[in-house]
Structure 1
Amino acid sequence: MRDFDAVSAILNQYFTGLHYADTKRLRSICAPQLTLRSPGVSKTLEEWLSLVGARPVPAKLGHTFQYKILSLDIVGEQAMAKLECPLLDYHYIDFIGLLKENAQWKIVSKMYCNVLPLPQE
């Protein structure tokens, strides 16, 4: 149960990092060699964090915090999470890969897609 709790805590930090555009928090939970992929998109950790830091901050725009863990599988020292991330005007599904190295879980990969636009409030 310890690994499940540790990975869940990292995923909740990930949600908080996205919602507040907190690049320092995001960097702390990601491996330096993280890759971000989507069809036609490939970014390094630094490229992704630069984009997060430059975009509008959902919390400052008054957006509600509605992120969810849809599924989490842990096998040994590897984990895969499927997340729901309503962010700005999009409804993203993120697939987050994590590894436990040196007794610490880190995000090593992120794949994502926009499944539909969010309704306007």
Structure 2
Amino acid sequence: MHHVEMKKELSEIRAMVQCYFTGLHEGDSETLRNLFHPDCWLKAPGLRRTRDEWLQLVSDRTSPAEKGDEFVYQILAIDWLGQQAMVKVLCPLFEHHYIDFLGLLKEQGQWRIVNKMYANLPHTYQG
């Protein structure tokens, strides 16, 4: 793959993750629905949710934007190979500081989240 194509792919991944951040911050379940593959599972130790179960929770809660929370989400790392990527992000939501590990696939020309694992950072984390 040429350098220009590589930059384009990484730019597409970053743009998709920024949409994810915006959807989380604004509580926009329809934006989030379009970013996640329908059979995606969201997983944390001892917890499993389907995409639709999680989106219902997002719809039912007051969004961080409505609460006046800052938009301080960050991409921490992107590991990308061809049509697959793992993206590690920091998502400060409410009183939590989540680290999300987003598994992405590019299918039919579109990057989508096919797996999400996440954990709340302990206050003692020195990362």
TMscore range, shorter length = over 0.9
Q: How does 1:77-92 map to 2 (within 5 A)?
A: 77-92=83-98
Task: Please tell me the residue identity of whatever aligns with 2:62.
Answer: P
Instruction: Report the TM-score when normalising by structure 2.
Output: 0.90
3-state DSSP of counterpart to 2:114: strand
Report the count of equivalent residues: 117
C-alpha distance in 2 between matches for 1:22 and 1:51: 11
Instruction: Provide structure 1 residue ranges, at least 5 long, that are not aligned to the other structure.
Output: none
Instruction: Report the TM-score when normalising by structure 1.
Output: 0.94
The sequence identity of aligned pairs, in percent, is 47
Q: How does 1:27-66 map to 2 (within 5 A)?
A: 27-66=33-72
Matched with 2:4 is: none
Q: How does 1:1-121 map to 2 (within 5 A)?
A: 1-116=7-122
3-state DSSP of counterpart to 1:116: coil
Deviation of 1:104 after TM superposition, in Å, equals: 1.1
> After TM superposition, which residue ranges in structure 1, 4 or more long, deviate above 2 angstroms?
none
Deviation of 1:103 after TM superposition, in Å, equals: 1.3
Matched with 2:3 is: none
Higher alpha-carbon Rg? 2
C-alpha distance in 2 between matches for 1:64 and 1:102: 34
